[in-house]
Each structure stands twice: as structure tokens, then as C-alpha cells.
Structure 1
Amino acid sequence: MGETGVTNPPGLDLRRLGEYLEEQRPGMLGGPLSGEVIAGGRSNLTYTVTDGRGRWVVRRPPLGHVLPTAHDMGREHRVISALSDTPVPVPYTVLLCEDTEVLGAPFYVMEHVEGVPYRSAEQLDALGAARTGGIAASMIDTLVDLHAVDPAAVGLADFGKPEGFLERQLRRWKKQLEASRSRELPGIDRLHERLSVRIPTSPEPAVVHGDYRLDNLLVGPDDEIKAVLDWEMSTLGDPLTDLALIITYSSAAMVGSTTVSNAHTAEGYPDADEIIARYAQRSGRDVSALDWYVGLAFFKLAVILEGIHYRHAQGKTVGEDFEGIGDVVPGLVDGGLKYLDGA
């Protein structure tokens, strides 16, 4: 495990990781590790590592500025492990390490699942409209499957505090906005205030992913969802927040930047009304108050991207295409205000 000449990706000491895996899972590795950062992530760092025989994925928090309550590796590992015997497709987890002496931050290791995280319209257009529509339908159906999981039955009864969930979401994202506020963002405080004055009553709680979108799913060659990834914001809460996030990711405010997915613009991808109708029909949930949830999703995404912009300005991001991410934020604020106005 101590061979020299191996290039470490940013934030990942491959020799130390190999030593730790040998300590915790004797015989797991057949040789020294090599690895690389998986492109496309905007928050936690994700790597593929291999010993030349097997392949795994390592997740750890970002370098530098880390917001309070975010990037909790233990939560990610716990929810993925808990969902392993449900209809929700998730990778097999290998181990969780919360000892920051190993890699400088908590991390976990899981199996590497083969599949494509469709991020661009160009990728989907190559498949054709029919296959694109089928993949989007599977995305929605998998979300319905997630929200149908009984948290207590999979050991997640204490995974969150559903009571007052929406109020806490507003407080949390306002707090994280303040932690990353480094420039004027006209309208963002007004968006928060408007959300605060009419908070809907939540339905029965469910396991909520927190960042559910097409490029956080791995799709196999049969167009089926092979794995749901990036559970860093998962909790027990209001399932309509996940549905609203899909709608927000499919909005015009997300078009025009290479830093966000434009998959929703592909021919055959369902529009917002079709997505909502399929979810409502298959889940049986009342979606009449969804406008408010979409306004919240715009606010949440604005805060998340502003945090990434803040880290990028500090030189603390790893990967490409971060330089324009701050340009998306004003459009999200405007989109949230317009949605609440019914425009």
C-alpha cells in the first residue's frame, strides 16, 4: 500500500486510504490504489478508486469552507445502508470512517455501480425522445418508491424530526445563506420573507432525498435506474420538497449555464405538469400546495449555489466549470419570486 509515484487526487491520500482499508477489511485489496475525482459534483467530493481488480467509490466533504450541518458523511452512509433492502436502488456500502486523522475529514466507501448520470440534453437526444421519456418516468417512479418506504421498518424512525420540517428548512437555508453571503443578492431576503408568511401543512413524513434530480441517478443500458446517489441532504420530512426540486431543476432559470444540467430541455423529457401528474397519480399524494414548495426549492438552490460560488471565490473548489455558478443565483431568486406570484 506504500508504493510511491501514485498521484493523489485533491483531498484523498491513496496510500493512507489503502492502509485503512487493509486494517478494517483485511484481504479486500489486491494491490496499491489509484484514483481520480468524479467530475460533475458541486458539493461533496466523490472519487473512484481501484486496486486494479475491484473498483469502489469514496465520498468526503469539500475542501475549505464547510457549512454547519452540511456534508454529514454519517447520515449519507446510514440512509444508503438502510435502503439496501427496499425497492430504492442504492449502492452497497463498504464502511464509514469518522476518524478525521485518516484522510483529514470523515468519509465512506461504497461499491461502484455502472451507469450514466444523464446531465445534458445532448446525451438524452442521442437516445431519442421515447427513451428519454421512459428514463424520466423511471426517475419519478423511483421517487414515489422512496417516499413509500416506511422509515421505522428500515431503522430510520429517528433519522429526522418531521414536526416543523418546513419551518426548519426555511431557518436552515437562511442561516446557510448568511454563512456564505459575500455580495448583494437583490430579492433573496424578500423571497425568504414571502415563504415565511404562508407555510403549508405537511403530509405524512417520508424519507426525503433532498437533492433529487436526473444527474444524481445512475441509469443502466436498459434505461432502468441502477442507483440513487448523493444523499448528503437526506432526512425525514415533507416528500413534496423532493417533487418541487425536480420542477425547479426543470425551470427556465436553470438554462443558459454550463454549471447546471440542461437535461430537461431534451425532446421527450416531460414538462412540469406531466411530472406532477405522474407523481400524484402513482403516490396518491395531494399536490395542490406545490407552488409554495417550488418557491422554497428556488430559495434552497440559490443558497446552495451561492455557497459553491463562495468556496470557488476562495479557491476551495475541486473540478471544472465553477467560475460561472454564481451567475445562476440571481435567476433562481427571480424565479422563486415569480413562481409565488403565479407568473
Structure 2
Amino acid sequence: MLKEQGLADFVAGRRVIVSGGAGFLGSWLVDALYMLGAEHITIVDNLATGRIDNISHLLGTGRVKLINLPVEKLEPLKGYDFVIHMAARPSPEDYVEHPVETLLASSRGTEVMLETARLSDAVFLLTSTSEVYGDAEVVPTPETYWGKVNPIGPRSCYDEGKRYAEALTVAYARQYGVDVRIARIFNTYGPRLDPGASYARVVPRFIMQALRNEPVTIFGDGKQTRSFCYVSDMTIALLKLLLCGKCKGEVVNLGNDEEVTILELANLIKEIVGSRSEIVFLPPREDDPKRRRPDISKARRLLNWEPTTPLRAGLQKTVEWFRRYAGGGAHVG
């Protein structure tokens, strides 16, 4: 699929640094860069939410190096063609538990990676989030929407951290001329979501609960919506944005524009698994957005990209991986 996208000519022989490259989405992107022929890939990851198993198959190749360090503690480096800042704590339970670390990854961490891009004269890609829109009043949400975010609420460490990261990225472009681009990523799922994490996101939590025939727990009434993009579709979108010649300074929504309620998601996962789990409703999370659906017309226009994996098919692949992983299976990409 990557070869069909015609991306190898832009990656082969290049040097890349990726913060958060041992994480779920980061490791998929690192795999893609490796397969496309990147000469060297430096991963910066303290494995707080990433997993060594996600990248262990690459570490002995001589082309991939891991710096086991929080990105905010890294000194800026030189000598890269592409600088990708993905380090984050994207799970709500996790970032609420670790607000300071979450903010530092988005503040000082973004500065370190931007300095690396400036010193290297490299292309810089920030993976931001749909959370910058907060509880959006405009749905589908375009990039021009400024957001409705509680700056001191429990989610603010992630929301405002990413908003600051975007502001700093744009400031480096304006003041220093750094070639930047920002991806606002909506919910992404697929293999390598950690089933054993203490703070699981909604898809892995539902899958593991369903596989164990435990209650599937929904915060709130389940009527809140999200839009779920399969990880291989998202990986291609990120590569296209990174390598796009006309995307300097652009902010682009990346995600699936098909909206589904959390209750519908829970029932679909139960059906795919064949689970006997009951659905249990818990008190809603504070400041939890009611709807989330991207307007991806800009991605279609600039990148000639849109997701192609239907939700049921993507969840089936994800459930299959979770069955193998939870059963002690070998690494599966």
C-alpha cells in the first residue's frame, strides 16, 4: 500500500527523528518510514505510554536507534531531514493522573523538537489533536474553528498543552522560517493499542472487557459521538502531510468523518467478539465532548487522502490482534 502511494522517493536515504516513536501510532509511522527506505530513524521515547515490543523488531537493524528519555529532557539535535513530534499521553485517565508530564511533553518537548528542526533545516510535523476543539459547537469541525476549551478543567493539561504546541509551532514558522505542518488527529484505533495499559482508551478497553465477558463500561449515557480512523489509514495521511510540497504552514484535520455513538461502538465490539458482556453506564467524565466529527475536506483537497477502512473491518482486525496479543502471541504489525 505504501509503494502505491509513491512516497518512497521522498523518504529513501533521509534521516528522521520521531518523539513518541514507540507508541501506538508512532510505531506504525516508524515502521512505514523504515519500509520506505529512511537511512536512519531516531526514536525518542521514555516508554511511559509506548512499548518496546512495538519497535524491538527494528532496533537490531542498524538503521533505528532509541533514546530512552522524556522528550522534554532531550537537548536539541542536528542532522535530520524530518522532525516529527508525537510524544504525548493521549488517554484521558492517564493525562488526568499525570497533568504536569503531559504539559511538559507539549511545551518544553515541542520546543526541543522545533529547535532540532531549526538547527537541521528540517521539515517539522506536529501531531496535534481534535481535543484542541474542546466541546465543539460546529460539527463537522473545520480547521478554522477556534475551539471551546476549559483552560483549567481536568482535561486542560492535554487540550491546552496541544494548543500551546500549535502556537509555538506557528511561532517558529513565522520567526525562524521553519517548514512546519500540523496534523489535528481524531480518534485512531488498531493493532498495538496496549491492552495491558492501566489507562486504556475506549476501543482497547471495550475489546478487553468484551473478550473477558466483563461489563463493558461507558462513561455517561453513551450518546456522545466519536469518529474512528483505522491506524493504517492514519499512517498514510501523516506521511502525505509530512511529504507534501504545498503544505508548509498548513493545519489539517486527519480522521474518519463517519460519526458513531459510544453505545453503538460498544455494541459493535460485543457483536464482533461474540461477547456475553453487559453494558454498564458510569458517571460522565467532566468536560467530555458531546460530539466529535472532523471536516476532512482540506485533507481530501491537499493530500488527496481519505480513510478507506470501514469501522467494522478495522475493528475485526483489531480484535484479531488483541486475541493473539492477550494470548501471548508474537509481535504482529
**TM-score, normalising length from structure 2?**
0.29
**TM-score, normalising length from structure 1?**
0.29
